[in-house]
Amino acid sequence: MSTSSARAEGTAVNAAKVNAVKLGNLENAVNRLVREYKNPVALTRQFPMQRRLIDARVFFELENYEPASILLYELVERPEFKKNREYFNALVLLGRCLRHLNNPLGARKYLREGMRSSSIKTREEALYHLIDLALSENDSKSLQGLVATIGSPGSVKTRYALAKAVFLLKDYKRAIGLLNSIPSGDPVYSLSRYYLGASQTALKRYKSAIKTFTRITAIKPKGPDAEKARDLSLLAIGRLEMELGKLERAVAAYQRINRKSPYYERALMETAVAFIKREQFERALQTIDILLLIVGDEQLSIEAHVLRGKLNTNMADYKEAVKSYERILDRFAPIRNELNRFAKKRSNIDRFFSWLLERASDSGGLRAPLTERTVKYLESTPAMKQVVRVFGSLGADREELRVANKLAVDLARVLTSSNRVELFPELKEGWTRALALQNQLINLSTDILDHQYETGFNGGQRSNQAEMDQLVKWRHSLEERFKKLPTTFEEYENRQAQIDARYVNLQRKSFLVEQTVKLLKRQLLAIEDHVNKQQFGDDGKKLSDKREGRIRTDIDSEKNRLTSLYKDLIRLRDEIKAESERVGTGDVVDAGERDLKQLLLSAHKREGIRYDDRGEQMPTEGQIQFSQFGRQRDRIFKNVEKLSDVIKLIDKRVTEKAADLQRLIDAEKKHLVQYNVEMKGYERKGRKLARKMGRRLFKRAHRQMKKVVLDADWGMINVAWQQKSDESKELKKLVASKQEKAKILQRESEQLMLEVGGDESEETE
């Protein structure tokens, strides 16, 4: 044997050993993956239903309501889970999640289903949240229905909710009976005492009510609800003491309310009234000045401004009184003037209520039929406040339904996409690991083929040398493309992250465009606000009707363009999102790489056949080495097939899970259709209510504003009259004083003349 032949043989032996070690490691990884994912139970990677319920509860406690509701939806819609003893508890928890997600329709549905539980505890839990939901919506009809079906609740929490319900329904004696049954150690005790005091007040048991409220203020509040009960109790004590004529006690109670309390402003106003009743006008004026610095409530602001003007007038501080009334006119006359114009057309009032339904949308601000200050005033009036709240809630619900419908469409699109495995992280991980192992096996096959070519053909002049070189050249061309493929799970994840970053960059650019559109919106609204101030203010030069009409037409035209831009931006945002969701494991890129691997494997097999033939022509030692390489390649191809089978199994399971999710989505679509029908019914009722009451409510709000401005005008006149009266009185006093002084002077003159006359007669004698 020559030295070169011996060296080549040694190299072949070493290569075979190295390849055997690499192949053994890869086979072990493949077998682990097969064991992990070929087992149907392991493949699903599903937690038991009880574990999913625990996860949902953890999400709920962390106030992460969306994932909690998704887990609960999946559970309660499973036929097998409906036999589970936790089924009704899951329904109640889902209802609570939906309530936190501002979906009262869905919340009410699942809470009512939870009421069918055979467990008293679960029924009372559902009942409590149904009552609490009706209370938050001030839904007297629902409360009447619930109260009529309730006997005597066992749990303290439910008794407390029932007591609040009967209090709202004005059954004060029953409320007192329920509230007195709540033990002092319970967390809701201090809250229950407030309703007890309120019930006693409604029955005109003022002294008992003061004692009840006083006990609440002695309890250290734990949590925001208890603090609210304490502040409301202090407010109630102040009002009751004032009613009983105990003004000092009333002021003391008001002054105990914390500055950060939402009731602090009202307490200041009532403190000022108490000072006025005690004729402490300076202190009343100081209190009102403090209130005007912080006031946020529109109605309270009106009351404070008017009261300040009256106080200044009564204190004969006419300069400050005029300033107070001028502030009222400057602030509220434009609102009156705008309402004067707006309320003339009934269609405007209908447009206002229609806008309330669209207010929550992206372009809602552009469609506002009234200025922001006028809308704010309307929302603050007692009569309009409830209607605006209901319409606003309907509008928000409609927007949420639109988002839910869109989400259902997006999910359906993702479930039918080629990369739907991305929805199931555990399955995606197995798929990606299989791809990475396939790539590593093919790379090992490449090393074996290169070694066999170097050993059997390179530099030789074989009869089929040209054909062999052509095969190798074709294989190398495929491998150049194959080299770009990741070979580890981490590399696949990094590639995905790089692609995601590109879409994030697109989303960032879309966001910048959106901010530019918002800037244009602010500029346009600023122009409109300038026109409104000019036209609705009492002072300054007004635009002619023709000029104003042209400007407002131009503004409306620009608003339409911006609305169209908003729609285009939303479409662009959705398209970017849709395209980003198509990228990932199993996508078109993955399919293209799969085709490349099939071509490369075919090239490897064809070239391997030539090496097997060549090995048979070699000496015995060469035949052994070539046969070892051939067996290693066969093992590689078998393992690649094993991994392909794993991917097929994962894909099958993905299809099954996607079908399960699609069934859930289809079920929810039916619910959404029902919600849409219910929503349209509520909207019809709302519009009917608007047509029936809208004009009257607008007239009432308009009259109130006219009265405020008229009172300010009258206040200005009264100040002038008072000033004139005071000056007239002063003038009369001066005239009277002058006349008196003249009389005194006249008497003194006469006396003096008499005295002078007497002296002359004496001299004559």
Q: Is the dihedral of CA 26, 32, 36, 37 positive or negative?
A: positive
Given pLDDT bands bounded at 50, 70 and 90, which one contains residue 765?
very low
Q: Model confidence over 567-580: pLDDT tens digits?
A: 788 777 777 776 66
Is the distance from CB of 324 to CB of 310 less than 8 angstroms?
Answer: no
For residue 544, give the DSSP letter: P
The structure tokens listed for 154 are 């066992």
pLDDT of amino acid 591? 74
> What is the spatial distance between Cα 225 and Cα 165, in angstroms, rounded to a whole number?
17
Please report, for residues 22, 87, 89, 165, 514, the alpha-carbon distance to residue 115 in angstroms, rounded to integers and kept in the order given.
63, 12, 10, 18, 47
Question: In terms of Cα–Cα distance, which of 634, 638, 628 is closest to 18?
Answer: 628
Structure tokens at 15: 């290569």
Work out the number of other CB atoms within 10 angstroms of the CB of residue 659.
Answer: 11
Q: What percent of the chain has pLDDT over 90?
A: 2
Residue type, 349: I
CATH code of the domain occupying 49-353: 1.25.40.10
Give me the residue label for tokens 């052994």: 624
Residue (of 83, 96, 158) closest to 127 by Cα position = 158
**What is the model's pLDDT at position 81?**
83
Cα-based angle 614, 619, 623 (whole degrees, multiple of 5): 55
What secondary structure does DSSP assign to 289-322, as a single string? HHHHHH---HHHHHHHHHHHHHHHHHTT-HHHHH
Mind listing the pLDDT tens digit for each residue in 248-287?
A: 899 999 899 888 888 898 999 989 989 988 888 889 889 8
- From 104, 95, 168, 101, select the one nearest 125 (Cα to Cα): 95
Q: What is the average pLDDT across 505-530?
A: 81
- Mean pLDDT is lowest, of 139-148, 513-522, 571-580, 731-740, for 731-740
Lowest mean pLDDT among 173-182, 523-532, 547-556, 717-726: 717-726
Mean pLDDT, the chain, as a whole number?
79
Residue among 269, 350, 241, 240 nearest 694 (CA): 350
Tokens for 642?
């094993």
Q: How sure is the predictor about 44, in pLDDT bands with cuts at 50, 70 and 90?
A: very low
Alpha-carbon distance of 648 to 37, in angstroms, equals: 11
* Main-chain dihedrals φ then ψ at residue 389, nearest 5 degrees: -65, -45
Buried residues in 708-729 as b, exposed as e (16+ CB within 10 A) = bbebbeebbebbeeebeeeeee
Percent of residues, the chain, with pLDDT higher than 70: 86
What pLDDT, on the 0 to 100 scale, is given for residue 725?
67
**Which pLDDT belongs to residue 638?**
92
C-alpha torsion sign, points 588, 590, 596, 599: negative
Q: What DSSP state is assigned to residue 542?
A: P
**DSSP codes, 415-467:** HTSTTGGGG-HHHHHHHHHHHHHHHHHHHHHHHHHHHHHHHHTTT---TTHHH
**Residue 634: what residue type?**
D
pLDDT band, very low/low/confident/very high, at 45 (cuts 50, 70, 90) = very low
The residues spanned by each domain of the chain are 1-43+370-733, 49-353
248 or 656, which is more confident: 248
H-helix or E-strand containing 229?
A: helix 224-243
Longest Cα–Cα distance in the chain: 191
Which residues have a Cβ under 8 Å from the Cβ of 387 and sit 6 or more positions away? Answer: 689, 690, 693, 694, 697
- Average confidence (pLDDT) over 578-586: 64
At residue 673, does pLDDT exceed 50? yes
561-565 long-range Cβ contacts below 8 angstroms, 24+ apart? 562/363, 562/366, 562/517, 562/520, 562/521, 562/524, 563/363, 563/366, 563/367, 565/517
Q: Averaged over 726-739, what is the pLDDT?
A: 65
Q: SS3 string of 80-140? A: CHHHCCCHHHHHHHHHHHHHHCCCHHHHHHHHHHHCCCCCHHHHHHHHHHHHHHHHHCCCH
Q: Rounded to whole angstroms, how far apart are CA atoms 301 and 31?
A: 77
Query: If pLDDT is split at 50, 70 and 90, which confidence band does 47 have?
Result: very low
pLDDT at 9 over 60: no
Q: What is the mean pLDDT of residues 610-627?
A: 69
Tokens of 373: 């200050």
Identify residue 502 by its one-letter amino acid code. R
Work out the pLDDT band at 743, boundaries 50, 70, 90.
confident
- Spatial contact of 421 and 654, defined as CB atoms under 8 Å apart: yes
Instruction: Give the pLDDT score at 223.
Output: 75
Query: Can you give the pLDDT at residue 153?
Result: 67
- What does the DSSP assignment read for 173-189? HHHHHHHHTS-TTSTTH
* Amino acid identity, position 424: F
Residue 42 has pLDDT above 50, yes or no: no
Distance from the Cα of residue 29 to its chain's centroid: 46
* 464/595 Cα distance (integer angstroms): 29
- 186-221 pLDDT, tens digit per residue, is 777 878 888 888 898 888 888 899 998 888 888 777
CA separation for the pair 165, 145 (Å, rounded): 11
427-440 pLDDT tens trace: 888 888 888 898 89
Q: What is the radius of gyration, based on Cα positions, of the chain?
A: 43
Q: Are the CB atoms for 391 and 357 separated by under 8 Å?
A: yes
